[in-house]
Amino acid sequence: MTHQLDEIREIYAEAYRWYDPKRAVPVLHLSFYPYVGINHTIRIRSGEIFVRIGEICREMPLACHKGLAYILVGKLLRKKIPAGAREVYSAYVKSEAIRLRAADNKRAKGRKVVTTSKGSVYDLDEIFAELNAKYFFDTIPKPALTWSAKKTYRILGHHDATHDHITISKSLDTTATPRYVVEYVVFHEMLHIHHPTKHVNGRRYNHTTAFKRDEQKFAYYDQAETWIERNVRRMKREAKKN
């Protein structure tokens, strides 16, 4: 059953009074918003509070809405959030049903910036094919491969399982980058396909023991790690020039 916003608004008023019993509760504006994933926002504008709750949580039980209210209001007021609030809300959003719905929403509505797999120096299609044959016996289904639109330095590669997509940082598409470094980053992202994310008791595990063990099978593992460590500051400077 869909809960009326007035009923949920009262829960937020209750949370505000719990955190700050000496002040009057500001005017509260609540709405459901079609965020792609499980996202919510709370803001103060002109002394009034505006809350946007992800549409995916429209059918969420009131007890879980109460947990979310204490989380959001606590963050707004910079107060310590009671553990029970996190537990009851997390139990709902980390359930397999909601996780799958969020993935479906992201797949249907999420936007991906796709440039090209053919870089100025390196061809990701070619690198993927070589790695697939050498390390995976051609068992990894080929995802969409693309260089990032901008240079980055914090994240050099990303695998998006929802959209079956691998993005490699444009910072690496240069003659200053050894080929084995690009191969290593692509190999790392391919391992995310080979070792899918595990969900245990609501927690996500991306880099499992098996993942890390296989990662070290890359022929130039140590050299690539060392090169990245020594060049991250340079890549940071170049990325900021974007």
Name the amino acid, one letter, at 186: V
Q: Is the pLDDT of residue 139 over 70?
A: yes
pLDDT at 28: 96
Supply the range of the domain harboring residue 59.
Answer: 5-109
pLDDT tens-place string over residues 157-188: 999 887 789 999 999 999 999 999 999 999 99
Q: Say if 116 falls within a structural domain.
A: no
Torsion-angle region of residue 46: left (phi > 0), alpha (psi -120 to 50) or beta? left
Give the distance from CA 44 to its chain's centroid.
26
The pLDDT assigned to 106 comes to: 63
- Whether 118 is covered by a domain: the verdict is no
Are the C-beta atoms of residues 168 and 152 closer than 8 Å to each other?
A: no
Residue 85 is assigned to a structural domain of this protein = yes
- For the record, the structure tokens of 197 come out as 């994310």
Last residue of a domain, one of 56, 82, 109: 109
pLDDT (0 to 100) of residue 111:
52
Count how many domains the chain has: 2
Sequence-distant (6+) residues with CB within 8 A of 132 are 138, 139, 140, 142, 190
- Model confidence pTM above 0.95: no
pLDDT above 90 coverage of the chain, percent: 66
Q: What is the mean pLDDT of residues 228-237?
A: 94
- 101: CATH: 3.30.2010
Structure confidence by residue, pLDDT tens digits, 195-206? 998 877 666 788
User: Taking a C-beta distance cutoff of 8 angstroms, is the pair 187, 207 a contact?
Assistant: no
Facing residues of 157 across strands? 168
Same domain, 11 and 42: yes
Question: Which CATH number goes with the domain that contains 136?
Answer: 3.30.2010.10
Instruction: Classify residue 119: in a domain, yes or no.
Output: no
Total length of the chain: 242
How does DSSP assign 163-195, residue by residue?
Answer: TTEEEE-GGG-STTS-HHHHHHHHHHHHHHHHS
Structure tokens belonging to residue 196: 């899918």
Same domain as 105, residue 130: no
Strand partners, 45: 48
Whether residues 50 and 134 share a domain: the answer is no
6-42 per-position pLDDT tens digit: 999 999 999 999 999 999 999 999 999 887 778 899 9
Question: How confident is the model at residue 107, as a pLDDT?
Answer: 57
Domain contains 115: no
- On average, the pLDDT of the chain sits at 89
Residues 87 and 142 both lie in one domain: no
Residue type, 71: I
Bridge partners of residue 123, in order along the sequence? 118
- pLDDT tens digits, one per residue of 40-76: 999 999 999 999 998 888 888 999 999 999 999 999 9
Mean pLDDT across 203-228: 93
